[in-house]
Structure formats: structure tokens, C-alpha cells
């Protein structure tokens, strides 16, 4: 069923906040790379505008198709997603020691970004289908559902997205309900397992990932090498001060001391240019978005809608926290883009589709059961 | 119905938990804001300073070194642009490819490049790969610049000596200031990589000609590319030096010495100007100023012929018979001897159980002072030595400036030895034996001098006793004011001889050339006065009287000395020549002195160039 109602006030507010964040992102990208892109391609900000246009289509599509209908195909979609994640390991493009991308002509497509939404969908479907009792049904089964995805993504390797997967799983389990006793058991179990798991995880990490984690604790271990990103991001943010240095004077980003200023470290660029006050305004936009999204989840008509909205919310929220946290040096650098602001086709389109899903849930709350 | 209730209650639970999620996320944002406050507001100044450090670089603007000219305005040292290739290790993408490309384009051995890269790993300080690229090489590198990130050609100023090795010793050479030097007050405040004089006038006058470095503050991007200039303090070029040296004569002296080791010094007797200061073998200061590999440097310093030694002021030789000028003066100034004192020379002199021979087998017969100098009669001077004793000779030698630095404006001058009873007791911890005086009386034994000391002493004889401090730099052009500042001649006092002593010396020394051992210095155009000397080399040389000098192995042959001044009646130039291991002074050194004197007086008589200070 295609919904063609004109947007109400709530929806306008929602869209306005999202557009605000997107605009801030484009300005930040422009300020780092005003010139033509690599190899004489279009400037990055222009390409990002194109992605936002495509993202708008994804956004509208995500509103249009009833989420109940989507959920009906959730398991199939998830299976297809796992196959694609397996394929990217075989056929994907390798870059900087990681195999995360499909090359589609000039554009690179990163399936793990989309996989996050599909995971939300399948977990929402699982928990909404029937009452789940006991921690086998509530933890083990969804855990087994999530695990192949995590393993495939770790294999790429993409530590950041694997952590997103884990966080989505944990937050869905928690929202869907876990008795305090079970929760305690889980925590105990995990902490008992931790030394073994740590050993396993640590040794399976690539050298650069281990160095990133080590230099997170102390960037000065290697300020010109492995600690460079973390240190320069911190310098950029700190140098912004209370009022920011403005677009022209923000030397950390303009002179490229801050690497990846248009992608993972776009927040640091913004913070240097606009300062503490500017970032507070940005945080206010994100807080509004979180508030509106949780409002949608709260008022969802059924558990599926609620869980779906909650999953989308925690996905976006997690990316926001981790990305901003890593630029500020309170989290290791794991390569998670800032939703709606970082440059990138897959992340932009996926994030906008996620917003679409939220509005989808909101719009279906008054429709009749059929 | 019950199921619905359960579901309804369950839904309420979901909604309740959802609020925790919302709360958690909003608290997360709050927490991030607190951290942001800490970074931006509490530590804002600190991080802003760090970001300034990132973007601002100071580049030293190297000053142009002062120019050096000879007395006629001939250019001896200048600066030429040089293309130097630098490499920033951090920016290299493909080490193998780079090493291969450098071999192909510049002929740098691949293995050596890789070794240097390995040593410099993880550095972002550019290293000098090759200095002085040819235009062709520079064009080749520029053409491959996009394939070879990290390479950069920088145009810099390179010290250049247009005359090549000519006068290399006195000019010296330049090099980067060493870490040890940076601690010395003379080099205070010099940045690493600054060029300073390492020898010669480049070293003595370094503070004047080095100039003052400037500083350019630039903004750079993360790759170190200059984006804009923030501020400039201009550099000041160094002052120019005008030497008293006559390059034409210097060249003549060096080519007359040829492949022989030796030294030639020519002074203006009227003011101590250094006209010639030649030392051979020599070196090319261009090579030494362009950064040598340690292998080449090793080769130069271990060369048995010691090309880096400036023999004119660092070579300490027995003066041989040229020392008879000193001994004769000592005798004439004492009450134990007079010009009329006669000695019968039989070819040998007995002292204790040792027999000292005259260079002439069979002797010279009866000699007075004049004849003894003219014929360089050893026996006559053995007798003087025997009569005067060592301390009288030593005192006179010191009057002539021997055993002391001449004070020339060049570094590392040596002083030789003027032996005395006090000296021997102090240095050898032994008493002086009377027999040792006999050798010193003919310039052998312990006594040693430098050619420069002999030239200064000869000039003092010529000008009636003024002991000039040799002056190599006559004037300095201050770049800041364009003012020419003359460095006035300086003397170290006079040699306190009586007029009649000078008169006798003048006549006798003239006689050496006209009727004595220095006949080869006789000139058709000018009257020359001089004294020959043949300094025996130290060491147990097999005594082979009667054999021609060619039969003696080279390293055992005598050093040939000749000191001279001219014109004999109104002296203007004094010359000291030594040729190592070649034979008699009259044969080998005198012609060199004669040629230089003729050249100097011929030219200065025709166009009076030496007076022409208007050149600068």
C-alpha cells in the first residue's frame, strides 16, 4: 500500500532536522575539499549532494512500502544480505587491508552499511512475531541469527560495523525485554568469557587495528604515525575553542593536517570551524532527531513497529556516539562514519532510508489492521 | 482476551524500556558535550597552540657569503646557484621504484639509496640526496615528479671557487657547521645546516663574510607544501674580502713548484702584504665545499703527501744556510765578533770528538764575514756558533720573529723551534751540549722555521728592521653600508740591529746572487739579494760524499731553500721558497724566487698596478 498523505507538522519537523544535519555535512565537506575530486572528478560536495538526492528516493521508498510487508520478507532479505557479505569477501575490492566494497563502475558500494538495517528488520520481526520466553528464545536464538553477520563482517575486517551489529543485537534484546536475572546472568557470563574472548579477539585483529587501540590510550606513543589521526582530530576540535575558527581559519582541516576530514572525521572539521557553541547546536539537532525517533517508536501501533523504530534509533545513535567519541579520543578509532554528515554514498543513502523507515512506522500507526 | 492483555502489557513494557534507550542516548550526548567542553573551552588554548605549531614553519633564508677578490679585483670566491635534490621519506610510496628511478636518472647506486632510506625511516625531515644537479638531471627529475612523490629540487646557493685549486690553502673551504662548533661562541645562534668557513680566510673572516641568516615564516599544509608566507626577516649577505694576494703571481708560484712539494711566500716589504702564499700539493676547495663522502675525505687526510697542510705556515723545516743571516746578525751585534773577523776554512771543524764538515770538500780558504755569507761557508759559521753559544743565537732569532707566530690572518699557524739552553731544559729535560750549537749555527739541528717566518724575517732585513705582521686581507667591503674598510698594516716592532749590520747584510746578500751560491737568481732586469739554503732531512741518511743528488733516494734528498728580496737597493718584495727533497737551494729554489721577483717588478714598473688601490 502506497501512502500519499501530505506530511503533518511532526513529519515536517522531522524532515527539517534531518535536512539541517545533511546541510551541515555538505558545508563541512565543501570546506575540506572545495576543489575537484581526485582524478578530475566532480567536487566531493557535489557528489555528496547527488548522494543525498539518491538518498531522498531511498527515503521516500522506505516510507512508501508498508513495514509489515517488508517484515514479511525479513528472513529472506537477511539471507540474501549474508550471501552478499560472503560475496564481498570473494569478489570485493580490497583497500587498505580490508575487503569491504563492491566496485560498481565508478562507485563503491559497502554492503555492511545496508546490512545493519536488514539486521534491525530481522530482529524486530523475530521479537515481534511471538512472545519469546526464556533466555534461549530471547538471547541464544537471536544471537545465532546475528552471529553469521558479525563473523562475515569481522572477516573483512570491519571492526566498527561488527561492533554496530553487536550493539544492535544487545539493544534489541534489552528493549524486547530481559528479566533482571537473565540480564545478570548474561553480564556474568560475558565477563567470565571476557579473558578468553579478549585473547581470541585481540589475536584475530589486524596489526593496524591493534595499534589503533593502543594509540587510542596514548596518541603520543607514535604521534606522527599510528596516533596521528587521533591526535590531529583532538587538536582540530580543541583548536576550535568556544566560538570556532571559521571556515577560512580552520587550518587543521583546510591544510589537511586532519586526515579523512570529509569522511570519518567530519565532526572534527565542524568542531574546529564552529567551536563549542556550533557543536551544541549540532548536538541539539541530533538530540531532536533522537527525541522524535523515540517518539515514533513509542507511539508505534504494534511491537514490530516499535522494535523496528527502536532498532533504527539505536543504530543511528550508536554510530553518532562512537564516531563523535572517537574524534574526541574517548573511543578507539574504528572507522564508523557519522550518519547524515560523513561523505559517502552507501552511508548517506542507508541513513536516509533509515529515516524513511522511521516515518514509515509513524505513518502506519493510524492505519487499520488488515 | 488474556493473550491480548499479555500482549498489551508486554507492549507497555516495550514502551517503558524504549524510554531507557532514549535516555541513554541523550545522556550519551550530554557526556560528549562535557568532553567537548573540556577539549574546546578548558584546553582550547593548548590545542590552538598545537594547531599553530602544525601549520607554521620557519624556513631559514641562507645568506649569500661574501665574495673574495685578489688585489687586482680578480674573483677568487663567489656563490653559484645549485640544484639540490631532497627526499622526504614520509612521502615515498614505492621505495624499490624510487631507488631504481634514481639509478636510471642520476646514476645513484640503487643499494646505497635503499640503505639511506632504511636509515631515515619514518622521518619527515628532507634529506639531501644529491647536490649540484645538472640542468639535464633536474629536468629529468621534474619530468618524473608525479611518479616519484617525496622528491623535491631546491635551488640553493653553493660556494664556488672560480680559480679551482689555485690558492686553495689560503682561501680554505666551507662546510656545514658541526654540532661541536654550535656550542662555541663564534658560531652562536647559527642554525643547523648553516655554512661556515672550515679553513683559510673562509675560517678567519667567517664572522664577517658569513652574513646573517633571515627567516621566513610560512604556512604549510599537511604534506609540507608552502601555502602562503606569513612573515619575512630578510637575510643580510656577508661582507666582501679584498686580499693583498696577486693571483697572477700565485699561479706562477704554484706552477713553478709543479709536482714538487714545497711552499712559496712573497711579501711586500713595505707593509707586509702577502703577495703569494703557495703550498703544494694542493686541493680543490670546490670539492671540499660540496659535501664529501667519508671515503673521499678519508683518502684526502691519509694522503702521504698531506695536501691539506698549508706548508707556507704549517710546514716546519730546518732553515739550513738561510739561517746564516740570523747567525751573522748575532755575531755582528756581539762584542765577540766583527765583520773583519777572519777564519781559515779547511773544510772541517773539530768540536770535541766530532768533526763537522763544510759543504765544500777541501774548504774555502781564508774568509771574512762578507765572503762567508756569499760562499755560505759552513766552517766560518761553526766558529761563530762555537764562540757565541746557543743563547745569543736564539735571542737574535727571536728578534727576527722566529719561534713565534707571525700573526698572519690565517688559522693554525705553526711556530717552529728556536732552541736555547732554556728550551732544551724545558722540553727535553736535558742540558744543552756545546756541540749542538755548531749544527744550529748553519741552520741544522733543533732549529726549525716556517717559510712564512723566513719571508717575514727576510722582509725585515730588506726594509731595515720592521717586522710586519703579514696581511692577507687588505680591505673589507661591508655589505650593509657598502663602505670599504681598509685593514691597516701592522708591525710587531723592529729588529734591533745596528745600521752597519744591515749594510753588511745587504751587501753580502746581494753578493750571494752576483758572486756566490745564488747565481741562478741573477736577473738581467733587477738586482736581487738573497740567501741559499740546503736543509738536510732528518733521519739516518747514508753518507755518500761525491755522489750526485740524483743517486740519492728522493725522500733522503735535501730541501732546497732560497730567501730573497729585490730590488737590492730599494727593496719592495721579499720571497721565501722551499722545495722539499730535491737538492741544493741555489739550484732549485733560487730560479723560482727570481721568476716571481721579475714578474712582480716588471708589471709594477710598467703600470704600477700594486699601487692601484682604486681597483676596489
Answer yes or no: do B6 and B134 share one domain.
no
Give dist(CA B263, CA B250) in Å, integer: 11
A277 — contact with chain B (CB < 8 Å)?
A: no
Q: What is the mean pLDDT of residues B224-243?
A: 83
- The pLDDT assigned to B5 comes to 46
pLDDT of residue A182: 65
Give the closest-approach CA distance of A248 to chain B in angstroms. Answer: 13
Predicted confidence (pLDDT) at residue A342 exceeds the cutoff of 60: yes
Residue B608 pLDDT > 50: no
Last residue of a domain, one of B161, B184, B210: B161
- Angle made by CA atoms B286, B289, B292, in degrees to the nearest 5: 105
Note whether residue B150 is domain-resident.
Answer: yes
Whole-number pLDDT of residue B610: 45
The total of structural domains in chain A comes to 1
- Distance from B37 to chain A by nearest Cα, in Å? 7
Task: Give the model's pLDDT for residue B548.
Answer: 52
Q: How big is chain A by its Cα radius of gyration, in Å?
A: 21
Mean pLDDT for the stretch of residues B539-553: 50
Take residue B469 and report the three cell numbers written for it.
705582521
Task: Determine contact: B540 vs chain A, CB below 8 A.
Answer: no
- State whether residue B6 sits within 8 Å of chain A by CB: yes
If you measure CA to CA, which chain B residue comes closest to A273? B40
Q: What is the ipTM of this complex?
A: 0.88
Residue B55 to residue A303, Cβ atoms within 8 A: no
Helix ranges (DSSP H) in chain A = 9-32, 44-64, 67-72, 74-91, 111-129, 134-135, 141-155, 159-176, 180-204, 207-217, 228-240, 246-249, 251-254, 266-298, 303-328, 345-363
Gap between the Cα atoms of A191 and B532, Å rounded: 102
pLDDT at residue A212 greater than cutoff 70: no
- Chosen from A174, A220, A250, A251 to mutate, greatest number of chain B CBs within 10 A: A251
Percentage of chain B lying above the pLDDT 90 cut: 46
Instruction: Provide the pLDDT for residue B460.
Output: 95
Which position has the higher pLDDT, A145 or B603? A145
Do the beta carbons of residue A121 and residue A74 sit within 8 Å?
yes
pLDDT value of position A181: 65
| Residues A212-220, mean pLDDT to the nearest whole number | 64
Local confidence band at B102 (pLDDT 50, 70, 90 cut-offs): confident
Residue A218 within a domain: yes
Has residue A311 got a pLDDT over 80?
yes
Q: Average pLDDT, whole number, for chain A?
A: 84
Q: What is the CA radius of gyration of chain B?
A: 36
Search chain A and give the residue with CA nearest B27.
Answer: A287
The half-sphere exposure of B394 on its side-chain side, counting CA atoms within 13 A, is 18
B616 closest CA partner among B410, B473, B447: B473
- B586 is a domain residue: yes
Domain membership of residue A50 (yes or no) is no
Using pLDDT thresholds of 50, 70 and 90, give the confidence band for residue A197: low
Burial class (CB in 10 A: 0-12, 13-18, 19+), A355: buried
Q: Quick check: is A43 in a domain?
A: no
Torsion on CA atoms B251, B512, B570, B573, rounded to nearest 10: 20
Residue in B14, B50, B227 nearest the CB of A176: B14
* pTM score above 0.90: no
| pLDDT tens column, B461-486 | 999 999 999 999 999 998 878 888 99
Which residues, numbered 159 to 218 in chain A, qualify as contacts with chain B under a Cβ-Cβ cut-off of 8 Å? Answer: 171, 174-177
Whether B602 is in a domain gets the answer yes
Give the residue from A231, A238, A365 with the most B CB atoms within 10 Å of its CB, the best one to mutate.
A238
pLDDT tens column, A110-148: 888 899 999 999 999 998 887 777 777 878 888 899 999
| Whether B123 is catalytic | no
- CB-closest option in B18, B54, B223 to A294: B18
* pLDDT higher than 60, residue B606: no
Interchain CB distance below 8 Å, A276 and B25: no
Q: φ and ψ at B407, to 5 degrees?
A: 85, 20
Q: How confident is the model at residue A223 (pLDDT cuts 50, 70, 90)?
A: low
More confidently predicted of B186 and A288: A288
Q: Is residue B65 part of a domain?
A: no
pLDDT over 70 at A96, yes or no:
no
Q: Give the E-state strand segments of B495-588 in sequence order.
A: 529-535, 559-566, 573-579
Is residue B532 within 8 A of residue B373, CB to CB? The reply is no
Chain B environment of A328 (Cβ under 8 Å): 32, 35-36, 39
Burial of B552 (0-12, 13-18, 19+ CB in 10 A): middle
Task: Please indicate, yes or no, whether residues B126 and B25 belong to a single structural domain of this protein.
Answer: no
- Establish if B68 belongs to a structural domain: no
- Does residue A32 belong to the interface with chain B, where contact is any CB pair within 8 Å? no
In angstroms, the CA A307 to CA B148 distance is 55
**Of A20-34, A219-233, A255-269, which range is least confident?**
A219-233
Q: Are B466 and B455 in contact (CB under 8 A)?
A: no
Kind and range of the H or E element at B265?
A: strand B262-268
Contact B70, B245 (CB under 8 A): yes
Would you state the cell numbers that stand for residue A117, as one nine-digit string?
538495517
* Omega cis (within 30) before A157: yes
pLDDT in tens, A49-86: 999 999 999 999 999 888 999 999 999 999 999 999 99
Average pLDDT on B341-354 reads 87
DSSP state of B347: S
Instruction: Name the minimum distance, in Å, from the CA of A154 to any CA of chain B.
Output: 26
Average pLDDT along chain B = 85
pLDDT score, position A183: 67
Residue B544 pLDDT: 44
Q: Cβ–Cβ of A239/B50 closer than 8 Å?
A: yes
Report the CATH number at residue B353: 3.40.710.10
Number of folded domains that form chain B: 3
pLDDT of residue B119: 67
Please name the member of A259, A280, A317 whose beta carbon is closest to the beta carbon of B33: A280
B121-146 per-position pLDDT tens digit? 545 566 777 877 888 888 888 888 77
> Looking at the complex, does the CB of residue B12 fall below 8 Å from at least one CB of chain A?
no
Q: Do B14 and A175 touch (CB under 8 A)?
A: yes
Size of interface A-B (CB pairs under 8 A): 151
Chain A nearest CA to B61, separation (Å): 23
Is B480 domain-assigned? Answer: yes
CB contact under 8 A, B33 and A283: yes
pLDDT at B97: 81
pLDDT of residue B33: 93
Full strand arrangement of the beta sheet holding B274-280: B274-280, B262-268, B573-579, B559-566, B529-535
Q: What is the mean pLDDT of residues B181-204?
A: 83
**Contacts with A224 from chain B: Cβ below 8 Å:** 90, 122, 124
Query: To probe the interface with B, which of A130, A180, A255, A301 has the most B CB atoms within 10 Å?
Result: A255
Which range marks the domain in which residue B416 is found? 247-615
A12, part of any domain: no
C-alpha cell at position A305: 513497529
Single out the residue in B161, B181, B205 at which a domain terminates. Answer: B161
> CB distance from A246 to chain B under 8 Å?
no
Q: Which domain holds residue A231?
A: 71-339
Name residues 283-322 of chain B within 8 A of A (Cβ): none
B31 plus B88 within the same structural domain = no
Q: Is residue B593 domain-shared with residue B511, that is, in the same domain?
A: yes
Q: In this structure, is residue B203 part of a structural domain?
A: no
CB of B23 within 8 Å of any CB in chain A? Answer: no
Identify the residue with better confidence: B404 or A197.
B404
| Burial tier of B63 (Cβ tally within 10 Å: 0-12, 13-18, 19+) | buried
Chain B residue nearest residue A237, CA to CA: B40
A276 domain residue, yes or no: yes
pLDDT for B614: 41
User: Which of A221, A229, A235, A327 is the best substitution to test chain B (most B C-beta atoms within 10 A)?
Assistant: A235
Is there a contact between B221 and A257 if contact means CB atoms under 8 Å apart?
A: yes
CB distance from A325 to chain B under 8 Å?
A: yes
**What is residue B316's predicted lDDT score, i.e. its pLDDT?**
93
Residue A100 is assigned to a structural domain of this protein: yes
Picking from B130, B161, B192, the residue at the C-terminal end of a domain is: B161
Report the residue of chain B nearest A228, measured CA to CA: B222
Does A282 map to a domain?
Answer: yes
Distance from CA of A20 to the nearest CA of B (A): 18
- A19 lies in some domain: no
A240 lies within 8 A of chain B by CB: yes
For the ranges A260-269, B263-272, B375-384, B503-512, the lowest mean pLDDT is seen at A260-269
Average pLDDT over residues A3-18: 84
- Which chain B residues have a beta carbon less than 8 Å from that of A330? 32, 35
B25 in the same domain as B84: no
Q: Do B32 and A321 touch (CB under 8 A)?
A: yes
What is the average per-residue pLDDT within B329-351?
Answer: 90
Residue B562 falls within a domain, yes or no?
Answer: yes
**B51 with A279: Cβ contact below 8 A:** no
Look at B230 and B171; give whichever has higher pLDDT: B171
Among A160-164, B146-150, B415-419, B594-598, which stretch is predicted with the lowest mean pLDDT? Answer: B146-150
How far apart CA B594 and CA B518 sit, in angstroms, is 10
Q: How far is A78 from chain B (nearest CA, A)?
A: 24
Percent of chain A residues past pLDDT 70, beyond the cut: 85
Q: Which of B165, B194, B244, B321 is catalytic?
A: B321
Amino acid at each position: 500500500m502506497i501512502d500519499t498523505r501530505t506530511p503533518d507538522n511532526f513529519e515536517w519537523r522531522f524532515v527539517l532536522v534531518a535536512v539541517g544535519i545533511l546541510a551541515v555535512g555538505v558545508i563541512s565537506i565543501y570546506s575540506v575539499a572545495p576543489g575537484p575530486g581526485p582524478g578530475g572528478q566532480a567536487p566531493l560536495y557535489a557528489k555528496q549532494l547527488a548522494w543525498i538526492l539518491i538518498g531522498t528516493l531511498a527515503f521516500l521508498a522506505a516510507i512508501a512500502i508498508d513495514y509489515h510487508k517488508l517484515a514479511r520478507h525479513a528472513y529472506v532479505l537477511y539471507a540474501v544480505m549474508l550471501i552478499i557479505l560472503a560475496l564481498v569477501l570473494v569478489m570485493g575490492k580490497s583497500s587498505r587491508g580490508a575487503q569491504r566494497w563492491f566496485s560498481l563502475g565508478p562507485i563503491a558500494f559497502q554492503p555492511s552499511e545496508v546490512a545493519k538495517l536488514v539486521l534491525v528488520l530481522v530482529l524486530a520481526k523475530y521479537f515481534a512475531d511471538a512472545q519469546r520466553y526464556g533466555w534461549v528464545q530471547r538471547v541464544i536464538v537471536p544471537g545465532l541469527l546475528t552471529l553469521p553477520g558479525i563473523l562475515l563482517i569481522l572477516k573483512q575486517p570491519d571492526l566498527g560495523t561488527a561492533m554496530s551489529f553487536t550493539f544492535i543485537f544487545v539493544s534489541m534484546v534489552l528493549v524486547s525485554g530481559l528479566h533482571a536475572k537473565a540480564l545478570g546472568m548474561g553480564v556474568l557470563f560475558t565477563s567470565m568469557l571476557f579473558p578468553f574472548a579478549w585473547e581470541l579477539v585481540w589475536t584475530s585483529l589486524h596489526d593496524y587495528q591493534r595499534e589503533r587501540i593502543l594509540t587510542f590510550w596514548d596518541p603520543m606513543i607514535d604521534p606522527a604515525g599510528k596516533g596521528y589521526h587521533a591526535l590531529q582530530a583532538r587538536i582540530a576540535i580543541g583548536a576550535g575553542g568556544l566560538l570556532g575558527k571559521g571556515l577560512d581559519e580552520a587550518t587543521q582541516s583546510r591544510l589537511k593536517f586532519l586526515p579523512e576530514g570529509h569522511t570519518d572525521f567530519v565532526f572534527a572539521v565542524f568542531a574546529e570551524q564552529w567551536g563549542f557553541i556550533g557543536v551544541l547546536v549540532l548536538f541539539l539537532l541530533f538530540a531532536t532527531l533522537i527525541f522524535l525517533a523515540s517518539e515514533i517508536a513509542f507511539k508505534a501501533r504494534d511491537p514490530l513497529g516499535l522494535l523496528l523504530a527502536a532498532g533504527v534509533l539505536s543504530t543511528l545513535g550508536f554510530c553518532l556516539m562512537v564516531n563523535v567519541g572517537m574524534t574526541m579520543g574517548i573511543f578507539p578509532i574504528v572507522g564508523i562514519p557519522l550518519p547524515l554528515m560523513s561523505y559517502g554514498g552507501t552511508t548517506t543513502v542507508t541513513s536516509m532510508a533509515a529515516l524513511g523507515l522511521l516515518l514509515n512506522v509513524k505513518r502506519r500507526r493510524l492505519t487499520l489492521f488488515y | 482476551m488474556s493473550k491480548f492483555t499479555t500482549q498489551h502489557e508486554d507492549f507497555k513494557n516495550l514502551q517503558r524500556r524504549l524510554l531507557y534507550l532514549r535516555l541513554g542516548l541523550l545522556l550519551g550526548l550530554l557526556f560528549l558535550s562535557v568532553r567537548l567542553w573540556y577539549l574546546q573551552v578548558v584546553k582550547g588554548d593548548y590545542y590552538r597552540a598545537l594547531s599553530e605549531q602544525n601549520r607554521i614553519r620557519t624556513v631559514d633564508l641562507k645568506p649569500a657569503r661574501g665574495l673574495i677578490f685578489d688585489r687586482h679585483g680578480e674573483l677568487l670566491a663567489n656563490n653559484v646557484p645549485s640544484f639540490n635534490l631532497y627526499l622526504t621519506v614520509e612521502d615515498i610510496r614505492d621505495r624499490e621504484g624510487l631507488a631504481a628511478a634514481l639509478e636510471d636518472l642520476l646514476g645513484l647506486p640503487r643499494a646505497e639509496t635503499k640503505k639511506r632510506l632504511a636509515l631515515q625511516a619514518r622521518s619527515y625531515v628532507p634529506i639531501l640526496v644529491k647536490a649540484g644537479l645538472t640542468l639535464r638531471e633536474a629536468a629529468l627529475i621534474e619530468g618524473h615528479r608525479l611518479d616519484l612523490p617525496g622528491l623535491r629540487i631546491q635551488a640553493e646557493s653553493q660556494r664556488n671557487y672560480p680559480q679551482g685549486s689555485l690558492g686553495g690553502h689560503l682561501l680554505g673551504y666551507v662546510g656545514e657547521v658541526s654540532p661541536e662548533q654550535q656550542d662555541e661562541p663564534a658560531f652562536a645562534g647559527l642554525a643547523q645546516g648553516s655554512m661556515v668557513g672550515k679553513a683559510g680566510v673562509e675560517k678567519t673572516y667567517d664572522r664577517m663574510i658569513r652574513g646573517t641568516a633571515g627567516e621566513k615564516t610560512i604556512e604549510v599544509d599537511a604534506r609540507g607544501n608552502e601555502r602562503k608566507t606569513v612573515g619575512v626577516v630578510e637575510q643580510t649577505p656577508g661582507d666582501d674580502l679584498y686580499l693583498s694576494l696577486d693571483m697572477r703571481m700565485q699561479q706562477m708560484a704554484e706552477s713553478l713548484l709543479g709536482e714538487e712539494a714545497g711552499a712559496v711566500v712573497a711579501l711586500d716589504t713595505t707593509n707586509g702584504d702577502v703577495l703569494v702564499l703557495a703550498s703544494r700539493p694542493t686541493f680543490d676547495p670546490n670539492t671540499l665545499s660540496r659535501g664529501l663522502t667519508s671515503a673521499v675525505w678519508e683518502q684526502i687526510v691519509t694522503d702521504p703527501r698531506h695536501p691539506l697542510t698549508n706548508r707556507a705556515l704549517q710546514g716546519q723545516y730546518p732553515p739550513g744556510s738561510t739561517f746564516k743571516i740570523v747567525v751573522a746578525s748575532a755575531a755582528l751585534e756581539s762584542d765577540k765578533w766583527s765583520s773583519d773577523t777572519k777564519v781559515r776554512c779547511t773544510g772541517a771543524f773539530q768540536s770535541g770528538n766530532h768533526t763537522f764538515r763544510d759543504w765544500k770538500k777541501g774548504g774555502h780558504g781564508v774568509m771574512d764575514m762578507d765572503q762567508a755569507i756569499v760562499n755560505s761557508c759552513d766552517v766560518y759559521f761553526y766558529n761563530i756558533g762555537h764562540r757565541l753559544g746557543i743563547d745569543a743565537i736564539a735571542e737574535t732569532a727571536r728578534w727576527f720573529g722566529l719561534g713565534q707566530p707571525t700573526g698572519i690572518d690565517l688559522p693554525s699557524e705553526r711556530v717552529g723551534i728556536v732552541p736555547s739552553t732554556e728550551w732544551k731544559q724545558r722540553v727535553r729535560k736535558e742540558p744543552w751540549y756545546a756541540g749542538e750549537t755548531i749544527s744550529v749555527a748553519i741552520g741544522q739541528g733543533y732549529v726549525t722555521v716556517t717559510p712564512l717566518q723566513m719571508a717575514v724575517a727576510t722582509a725585515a732585513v730588506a726594509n731595515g728592521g720592521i717586522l710586519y705582521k703579514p696581511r692577507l686581507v687588505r680591505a673589507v667591503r661591508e655589505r650593509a653600508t657598502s663602505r670599504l674598510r681598509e685593514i691597516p698594516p701592522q708591525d710587531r716592532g723592529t729588529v734591533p740591529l745596528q745600521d752597519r749590520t744591515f749594510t753588511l747584510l745587504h751587501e753580502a746578500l746581494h753578493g750571494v746572487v752576483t758572486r756566490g751560491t745564488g747565481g741562478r737568481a741573477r736577473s738581467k732586469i733587477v738586482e736581487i739579494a738573497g740567501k741559499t739554503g740546503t736543509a738536510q732531512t732528518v733521519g739516518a741518511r747514508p753518507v755518500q760524499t761525491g755522489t750526485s743528488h740524483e743517486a740519492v733516494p728522493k725522500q733522503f734528498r735535501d730541501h732546497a731553500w732560497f730567501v730573497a728580496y729585490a730590488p737590492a737597493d730599494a727593496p719592495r718584495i721579499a720571497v721565501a721558497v722551499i722545495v722539499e727533497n730535491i737538492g741544493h737551494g741555489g739550484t732549485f729554489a733560487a730560479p723560482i724566487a727570481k721568476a716571481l721577483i721579475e714578474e712582480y717588478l716588471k708589471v709594477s714598473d710598467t703600470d704600477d698596478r700594486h699601487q692601484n688601490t682604486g681597483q676596489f
